Amino acid sequence: MPGKTNGVGVQVEDAKICVVMVGLPARGKSYIAQIAQRYLQWLSIPAQTFNVGNYRRNDAPHPTADFFDFNNAEGERKRRAAAEAAVADMLKWFKTGGVVGILDATNSTKERRKWVHQVCEANGVEVLFVESKCDEEEVIMANVLDVKTTSPDYKGQDPEDAARDFRKRISQYEKVYKTIDGDGDESDYTYLKIMNIGKQVVINRIQDYLQSRIVYYLMNLHIRPRSVWLSRHGESLYNLDGRIGGDTMLSPRGQLYAKKLPELVRESVGDDRPLTVWTSTLKRTIATSRWLPQHHNQLQWKALDELDSGVCDGLTYQEIKDRYPEDFVARDEDKYNYRYPAGESYRDVVIRLEPIIMELERSEDILIVTHQAVLRCIYAYFMKKDQAKSPWMNVPLHTLIKLTPRAYGTEEIRYEANIPAVSTWRGKGSTAKHEAPTGDTM
Amino acid sequence: MPGKTNGVGVQVEDAKICVVMVGLPARGKSYIAQIAQRYLQWLSIPAQTFNVGNYRRNDAPHPTADFFDFNNAEGERKRRAAAEAAVADMLKWFKTGGVVGILDATNSTKERRKWVHQVCEANGVEVLFVESKCDEEEVIMANVLDVKTTSPDYKGQDPEDAARDFRKRISQYEKVYKTIDGDGDESDYTYLKIMNIGKQVVINRIQDYLQSRIVYYLMNLHIRPRSVWLSRHGESLYNLDGRIGGDTMLSPRGQLYAKKLPELVRESVGDDRPLTVWTSTLKRTIATSRWLPQHHNQLQWKALDELDSGVCDGLTYQEIKDRYPEDFVARDEDKYNYRYPAGESYRDVVIRLEPIIMELERSEDILIVTHQAVLRCIYAYFMKKDQAKSPWMNVPLHTLIKLTPRAYGTEEIRYEANIPAVSTWRGKGSTAKHEAPTGDTM
Cβ–Cβ of B298/A205 closer than 8 Å? Answer: no
Q: Would you say the ipTM is above 0.90?
A: no
- Given this model, what pLDDT does residue A214 score? 92
DSSP H stretches of helix in B222-251: 237-241
How many Å apart are CA A121 and CA A116, to the nearest integer?
Answer: 9
Kindly report the nearest CA distance between residue B210 and chain A, in angstroms. 11
How many Å apart are CA A191 and CA A211, to the nearest integer?
Answer: 10
Do residues A51 and A85 make contact, with C-beta atoms less than 8 angstroms apart? no
Neighbouring residues of B118: CB distance < 8 A, sequence distance ≥ 6: none
- Given this model, what pLDDT does residue B441 score? 52
Mean pLDDT of chain B: 91
- Given this model, what pLDDT does residue A169 score? 93
Comparing alpha-carbon positions, the chain B residue that sits nearest to A205 is: B199
How many Å apart are CA A369 and CA A292, to the nearest integer?
Answer: 11
Catalytic residue among B69, B153, B306, B344: B306
How many Å apart are CA A331 and CA A385, to the nearest integer?
Answer: 19
Higher pLDDT, B23 or A409: B23
Catalytic residue among B69, B104, B165, B344: B104
pLDDT tens figures, B166-206: 999 999 999 999 999 988 899 999 999 999 888 899 999 98
Neighbouring residues of A31: CB distance < 8 A, sequence distance ≥ 6: A223, A407, A408
Look at residue B136 and tell me whether its pLDDT is greater than 80. Answer: yes
**Mean pLDDT for each consecutive 10-residue tract of chain A (442 residues)?**
39 81 93 93 95 92 91 92 97 96 97 97 97 90 80 88 91 94 91 91 87 88 88 97 96 98 93 89 96 90 93 95 95 95 92 90 93 98 93 95 87 96 92 82 52
Catalytic residue at B104?
yes
Is A413 within 8 Å of chain B by CB? Answer: no
Give the up-direction half-sphere exposure of residue A333: CA atoms within 13 A in the CB hemisphere.
7
Segment holding A264, helix H or strand E: helix A252-269
- Given this model, what pLDDT does residue B15 score? 86
Kindly report the nearest CA distance between residue B360 and chain A, in angstroms. 10
Cβ–Cβ of B182/A204 closer than 8 Å? Answer: no
Of B119, B183, B328, B326, the closest CA to residue B244 belongs to B328
pLDDT tens figures, B266-281: 999 987 788 999 999 9
Neighbouring residues of A281: CB distance < 8 A, sequence distance ≥ 6: A300, A301, A302, A304, A305
CB atoms within 10 A of CB A266: 12
Is A196 within 8 Å of chain B by CB? Answer: no
Catalytic residue among B233, B305, B327, B344: B233
Cβ–Cβ of A362/B297 closer than 8 Å? Answer: no
Do residues B116 and B107 make contact, with C-beta atoms less than 8 angstroms apart? yes
Mutate to test the interface with A, among B14, B183, B201 (most CBs of A within 10 A): B201
Residues from chain B contacting residue A219 (CB–CB below 8 Å): 203, 206, 212, 216
- Mean pLDDT value of segment B311-321: 95
Look at residue B219 and tell me whether its pLDDT is greater than 90. Answer: no
Q: How confident is the model at residue B229 (pLDDT cuts 50, 70, 90)?
A: very high
B406 forms bridges with which residues in the sheet? B409
Segment holding A21, helix H or strand E: strand A17-22
CA distances from B110 to A200, A260, B129, B203 (A): 20, 56, 12, 18
Of A220, A303, A344, the CB nearest to B212: A220
Is A216 within 8 Å of chain B by CB? Answer: yes
pLDDT tens figures, B50-96: 999 999 998 889 999 999 998 999 999 999 999 999 999 999 999 99
- Given this model, what pLDDT does residue A441 score? 52
Catalytic residue at B306?
yes
DSSP H stretches of helix in B250-403: 252-269, 283-288, 317-323, 325-333, 346-362, 372-383
Comparing alpha-carbon positions, the chain A residue that sits nearest to B247 is: A342
Cβ–Cβ of A9/B355 closer than 8 Å? Answer: yes
Look at residue B435 and tell me whether its pLDDT is greater than 60. Answer: yes
CA distances from A215 to A40, A206, B204, B223, B441 (A): 12, 9, 15, 21, 41
- Given this model, what pLDDT does residue B1 score? 26
- Among A88-97, A181-190, B107-116, B139-148, which is the least confidently predicted range? B139-148
Tell how far CA A300 is from the center of its chain: 23
Cβ–Cβ of B3/A297 closer than 8 Å? Answer: yes
Is A354 within 8 Å of chain B by CB? Answer: yes
- Given this model, what pLDDT does residue B144 score? 86
Catalytic residue at A160?
no
Judged on CB neighbours under 10 Å (0-12, 13-18, 19+), B144 is: middle
Cβ–Cβ of B205/A199 closer than 8 Å? Answer: yes
